[in-house]
């Protein structure tokens, strides 16, 4: 049990001795004083869980002592105060006993039996309070440690996202630029391989970051009206060529009563389907892979669907069924060596289905195949609005008299962006940190700024805020596009809050950047700065 400090303040030495004799216990430490000033010094240097204070009409020091103890109690040193009263009850009327830690009175001369009984209760109460402050301190410390660890993890993941996705953006961008140069057949084949490799690398990076975001609680499911049948056919179409290469029969079966339009997070549902189908095709040497969707239950505007991916592949041993959903785990020790992969696909599938409130079921027999099914409720939706038709453009239109300042600290991305913008007839100036952006903007006029968020000396967020606050119009409202490798939603929100007009995540396609530049220059879409 915690040792507690007790203060006895009484001008009469015999009362101090009487109380001390009643307080002979191993779980307390007694401090005594025969004057209020001496007690004030002790109270200033120590925290007391319990204080016995003699209230003397002739000396205001006793009241000052009580006030000091109560003041310390309000700041975390929770002292319980017991008044020792000689005669006048008028004193108690002026001291508001129910509040401020004052718990009782004891009249002098002290009755030994009553004193012993009360003191035991007071000490038990003091121990209780002491153990509760202690526990609260531990909780506060644990909470602070957890919040710090969470912040460190978020910062690490944000930096990792930037450090991994930024060079991949450069690789993909340079691949696109190379395609526009004269190439022979062999070089075109090498470019194809480079593109496939870079996209595969980006997929692995995104998988790792997605799992990290889920573990950090930074992953959200966003449902909107979508055509489920189109989504299923798109996933089927993307992987059909891979199944054909492996001489596998690839089947798609959608039950007739499956609604067409549902409220779905299409990106995440596609992620689940692509992971399950890719696995099924990879681990099937002969036979078939089948994607099927059936209705299990209908309830007014809601429908319960079962999605199944069935294959006739190698199967999973029973003792490995649960572990295949763990990060970096696969069905057998040599699976990665034989088939490749990181062992993250099924982990992502399970986490996504859990986030969506669904149920994941697996049935597998070694040598005969596996069936992965997930069940969830969906809300029937109205027909989604048709999005803008995507046009494949071999050459994007040229700009006229446009001058853009680019802030980017990665040399490969500097080269790629400079070449890309100049191909669109844009005049480009390049700097590598936010401080240089401010210096350039003081000397020159620009139509738009492209700015990386992670830069040395002065990052993109700080720079955008400084532009919006420190410059006069029209430079104050110059359009700014964030070119960020950030993968967290809060980072994109921070970019907009800092004053940027739009966000383009790396890696990006040239037409995405072209479209955003065109929109901002055409509409003059300026940010409104809160007062």
Give the Å distances, CA to CA, from 90 to 332, 477, 522.
84, 71, 82
* 166 and 193 part of one domain: yes
* 241 and 363 part of one domain: yes
* 211 and 230 part of one domain: no
Per-residue pLDDT reduced to its tens digit, 273-287: 888 998 899 889 899
CB 508, CB 408: distance < 8 Å: no
Name all contacts of 509-515 with Cβ < 8 Å and 24+ positions apart.
Answer: 509/176, 510/173, 510/176, 510/396, 510/420, 511/393, 511/396, 513/420, 513/450, 513/481, 514/396, 514/397, 514/424
Per-residue pLDDT reduced to its tens digit, 192-221: 777 766 766 776 677 777 766 776 666 677
Between 244 and 107, the higher pLDDT residue:
244
Give the Å distances, CA to CA, from 277 to 96, 99, 174, 177, 291.
74, 68, 31, 32, 8
Would you state the pLDDT for residue 525?
43
Share of the chain above pLDDT 70, in %: 79
How many Cβ atoms sit within 10 Å of the Cβ of residue 284?
22
* In the predicted structure, residue 260 carries a pLDDT above the cut 90: yes
End-to-end CA distance of the chain: 56
* 236 and 253 part of one domain: yes
530 inside domain:
no
Measured CA angle at 229 (ends 223, 234), to 5 deg:
90
Q: Which of 195, 215, 235 is the last residue of a domain?
A: 215
343 inside domain:
yes
529 inside domain:
no
Q: Is the dihedral of CA 101, 106, 111, 113 positive or negative?
A: negative
Instruction: Tell me the C-alpha distance between 32 and 79, whole Å.
Output: 15
Instruction: Tell me the C-alpha distance between 454 and 169, whole Å.
Output: 14
Per-residue pLDDT reduced to its tens digit, 327-342: 544 445 544 434 444 4
Ranges assigned E (strand) in 255-402: 261-264, 288-299, 302-311, 359-365, 369-379
* 255 and 155 part of one domain: no
Domains identified in the chain, total number: 4
245 inside domain:
yes
391 inside domain:
no
* 263 and 174 part of one domain: no
* 201 and 237 part of one domain: no
Share of the chain above pLDDT 90, in %: 25
420 inside domain:
yes
531 inside domain:
no
* 338 and 485 part of one domain: no
* 240 and 334 part of one domain: yes
Would you state the pLDDT for residue 66?
73
The CATH number that applies at residue 299 is 3.30.565.10
How many Cβ atoms sit within 10 Å of the Cβ of residue 484?
28
For tokens 């059936």, name the residue: 294
Average model confidence (pLDDT) across the chain: 79
Parallel, antiparallel or unpaired: strands 249-254 and 288-299: parallel
Q: Which of 336, 363, 379 is the last residue of a domain?
A: 379
Would you state the pLDDT for residue 376?
93
* 328 and 411 part of one domain: no
* 438 and 498 part of one domain: yes
Average the pLDDT over 343-363 and give the result.
83
In terms of Cα–Cα distance, which of 140, 27, 145, 154 is closest to 489? 154
Q: Containing domain of residue 486, as a range?
A: 403-523
* 207 and 348 part of one domain: no
Q: Which of 171, 189, 215 is the last residue of a domain?
A: 215
201 inside domain:
yes
Instruction: Tell me the C-alpha distance between 482 and 59, whole Å.
Output: 70
Residue 416 class from Cβ within 10 Å (0-12 exposed, 13-18 middle, 19+ buried)? buried
The CATH number that applies at residue 39 is 3.40.50.2300
Per-residue pLDDT reduced to its tens digit, 32-54: 888 878 888 888 888 887 888 88
């Amino acid at each position: 049990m915690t040792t507690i400090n007790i203060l006895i303040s009484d001008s009469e030495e015999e009362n101090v001795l009487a109380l001390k004799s009643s307080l002979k216990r191993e779980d307390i430490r007694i401090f005594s004083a025969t004057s209020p000033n001496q007690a004030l010094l002790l109270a200033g240097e120590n925290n007391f869980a319990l204080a016995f204070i003699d209230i003397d009409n002739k000396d205001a020091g006793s009241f000052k002592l009580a006030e000091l103890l109560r003041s310390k109690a309000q700041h975390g040193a929770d002292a319980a105060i017991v008044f020792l009263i000689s005669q006048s009850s008028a004193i108690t009327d002026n001291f508001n006993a129910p509040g401020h830690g004052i718990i009782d009175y004891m009249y002098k001369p002290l009755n030994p039996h009553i004193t012993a009984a009360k003191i035991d209760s007071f000490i038990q109460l003091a121990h209780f309070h002491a153990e509760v402050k202690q526990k609260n301190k531990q909780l506060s410390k644990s909470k602070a440690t957890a919040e710090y660890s969470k912040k460190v993890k978020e910062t690490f993941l944000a930096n990792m996202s930037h450090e991994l996705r930024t060079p991949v953006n450069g690789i993909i961008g340079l691949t696109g630029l190379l395609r526009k140069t004269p190439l022979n057949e062999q070089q075109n084949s090498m470019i194809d391989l480079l593109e496939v490799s870079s996209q595969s690398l980006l997929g692995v990076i995104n998988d790792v970051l997605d799992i990290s975001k889920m573990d950090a609680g930074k992953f959200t499911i966003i449902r909107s009206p979508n055509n489920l049948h189109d989504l299923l056919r798109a996933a089927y179409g993307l992987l059909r060529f891979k199944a054909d290469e492996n001489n596998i029969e690839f089947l798609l079966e959608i039950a007739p009563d499956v609604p067409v339009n549902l409220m779905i997070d299409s990106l995440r549902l596609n992620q689940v389907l692509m992971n399950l189908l890719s696995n099924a095709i990879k681990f099937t040497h002969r036979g078939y892979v089948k994607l099927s969707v059936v209705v299990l239950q209908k309830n007014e505007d809601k429908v319960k669907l079962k999605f199944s991916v069935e294959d006739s592949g190698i199967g999973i041993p029973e003792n490995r069924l649960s572990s295949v959903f763990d990060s970096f785990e696969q069905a057998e020790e040599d699976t990665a060596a034989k088939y490749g992969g990181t062992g993250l696909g099924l982990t992502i599938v399970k986490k996504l289905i859990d986030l969506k409130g669904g149920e994941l079921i697996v049935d597998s027999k070694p040598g005969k195949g596996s069936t992965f099914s997930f069940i969830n409720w969906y809300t029937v939706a109205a027909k989604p609005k048709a999005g803008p038709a995507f046009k494949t453009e071999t050459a994007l239109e040229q700009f006229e008299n446009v001058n853009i300042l680019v802030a980017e600290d990665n040399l490969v991305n500097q080269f790629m962006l400079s070449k890309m913008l100049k191909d669109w007839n844009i005049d480009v100036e390049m700097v590598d940190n936010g401080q240089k952006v401010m210096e350039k903007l003081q000397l020159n006029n620009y139509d738009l700024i492209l700015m990386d968020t992670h830069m040395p000396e002065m990052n993109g967020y700080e720079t955008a805020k400084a532009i919006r606050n420190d410059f006069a119009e029209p430079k104050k409202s110059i359009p700014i596009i964030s070119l960020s490798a950030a993968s967290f939603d809060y980072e994109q929100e921070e970019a907009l809050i800092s004053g940027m007009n739009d966000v383009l995540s790396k890696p990006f396609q040239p037409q995405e950047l072209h479209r955003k530049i065109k929109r901002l220059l055409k509409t003059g879409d300026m940010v409104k700065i809160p007062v």
